[in-house]
Amino acid sequence: MRVPTAELLRSLPAEWPEDLLPAIQAQVRDRGTKVVVLDDDPTGTQTVYNVPVVTEWSETSLRTILAEPGSLVYVLTNSRSVPLSEAQALNREIAANLRSASRATGRAFVVVSRSDSTLRGHYPGEVEALAQGLGGDLDGTLIIPFFLEGGRLTVHDVHLVDEGGVLIPAAETEYARDAVFGYRSSNLRDWVSEKHHGRVKAEDVASLSIKDLRLGGPGAVASKLAGLRKGGICVVNSASYRDVEVLVAGLLRAEAAGRRFLCRTAASFVRVRGGLAPRSLLTGAELAAAGGEGGGLIVVGSYIQKSTLQMQAAQALPGVASLEVAAERLLEACSRQGEIQRVAGQANELLGTGRDVLVYTGRRVIHEAGQASGLRVGQLISSGLAAIVAHLAAPPAWIIAKGGITSSDIATQGLGAKRTEVLGQALAGVPIWRLGQGSRWPGLTYVVFPGNVGDTDALAQMVRILRGGRID
């Protein structure tokens, strides 16, 4: 089923007429419950602003987080980059530490498991581990991959990806062919069954439909959640932010009645659940004021076709110098350090002249059999890119990291970030961070650019924005 986006949207019932966000904001404020988002890569901050991101989760750190007044915080786990067993272990650890921190501070919390809007990630393994760590006894898990900013909609239980104004079933996109997290099903009920290897039958997966949301409103949502089989799974259809508001309003009613749910979501749900209003995009002037002197750095690790086309457009900009990293050399102990030093040395020289530098891996995908081996390749390449950044002699004016795992490793390994602040977005779905104290270069503007977001010119446009109108 491929259909023009506008045609499908016209075929749906009218949205729920009431603006529910003010009531959601009041409930979030009055209840005081902290929304803790466990993000399996940094791109989940695509819809929020003025929100902290922490990269470690000791009980002491989580106590500090829960004691702070804000309603929302992100904990960057980067679990998509590690084997399932490691992802499960860290989710259990975070859940246990959160429970201890909650007892110590008296602050209640709810957890959101944020993952990819194109269905890649350790589902259901890490969600099950997280539920165990939270003490079990959950009433259900909600699957909510809607991400409007990236053109990901769920209609009639089918998850769709907008490509040039046409909605394509997710299983027909390149994301479904991911070497580690690939899948065959676009219907989310079938996808759940597929990911559970048939242990959960598609017919046993509940669904909140567009009609439930748009005709029944929050009451219908609360009623359906109340009737969910204990520990069951429910997929959520959404085609607009108003749909998400209806969902959250109904979810809050169900929670007020004592129900407990774990939400596996993309980024759009988080903004509404945290009670944040929409906000305009950051301007070039705002970002230029936060930038440093000299040239900026772009690091492209994501190798999907969208990223490659965006990279090529950025390379064509005047004043951009390109440095290719030989990914194969990063995989071999005998050549790894030499390759890191070679690229870092050239980058230092070019940045010192005031030029913007684009560091990228070769576009050939390196395959190894098995999920663990595929993750190992990705880890070695991503950590190699982070090591190149760690070898820079002076801070660039700004850094763009292209790709979720790449941006996480550069933030934590290359820049030593312990805590950052999400300033907002400069392009739809592209978050801007300011590095906090304790990082290598506090105050640096850091752009987390997802691999699967934006049109062909998006990366080049981001560079132009960060240049703030600078003449080349």
> Residue 374's pLDDT is what?
62
Residues 6+ apart with CB under 8 A from 82: 90, 375, 379
Distance CA 399, CA 378 (A): 21
Q: What is the pLDDT of residue 172?
A: 97
Residue 356: Cβ within 10 Å count: 26
Count the Cβ atoms, other than its own, within 10 Å of residue 108: 11
CA–CA dist 155, 167 (Å, integer): 11
Place of tokens 């977001």: 453
Pairing of β 445-449 and β 34-39 = unpaired
What would the two tokens of residue 426 be? 């400069």
Dump strand ranges (E) for 115-231. Answer: 140-144, 152-155, 158-163, 166-169, 206-208
> Which residue bears the tokens 């996808």?
191
What pLDDT was estimated at residue 453? Answer: 86
Domains, the chain: 3-273 (3.40.50.10840), 284-467 (3.40.980.20)
> Would you give per-residue pLDDT tens digits along the chain (472 residues)?
799 999 999 999 999 999 999 999 999 999 999 999 999 988 899 999 999 999 999 999 999 999 999 999 999 999 998 999 999 999 999 999 999 999 999 999 999 999 999 999 999 999 999 999 999 889 999 999 999 999 999 999 999 999 999 999 999 999 999 888 999 999 999 999 999 999 999 999 999 999 999 999 999 999 999 999 999 999 999 999 999 999 999 999 999 999 999 999 999 999 999 999 999 999 877 776 555 567 999 999 876 788 889 999 999 999 999 999 998 899 999 999 999 999 999 999 999 999 999 999 875 655 444 454 667 787 888 899 999 999 999 999 999 999 888 898 999 999 999 999 999 999 999 999 999 999 999 999 999 998 888 899 999 999 999 988 443 3
CA distance 327 to 330: 5
Q: What are the φ/ψ torsions at residue 222 (nearest 5 degrees)?
A: -60, -40
Buried b (16+ CB within 10 A) or exposed e, 399-432: bbbbbbbbbbbbbbbbbebbbbebbbbbbebbbb
Whether the link from the prior residue into 124 is cis, omega within 30° of 0, is: yes
What's the pLDDT at 369? 42
The whole-number pLDDT of residue 375 equals 75
Give 361's contacts (C-beta < 8 A, 6+ positions apart).
300, 301, 303, 324, 325, 327, 381, 385
H-run or E-run covering 253: helix 241-256
Please give the model's pTM, rounded to 2 decimal places: 0.92
Q: Counting every residue, how long is the chain?
A: 472
pLDDT of the residue at 21: 98
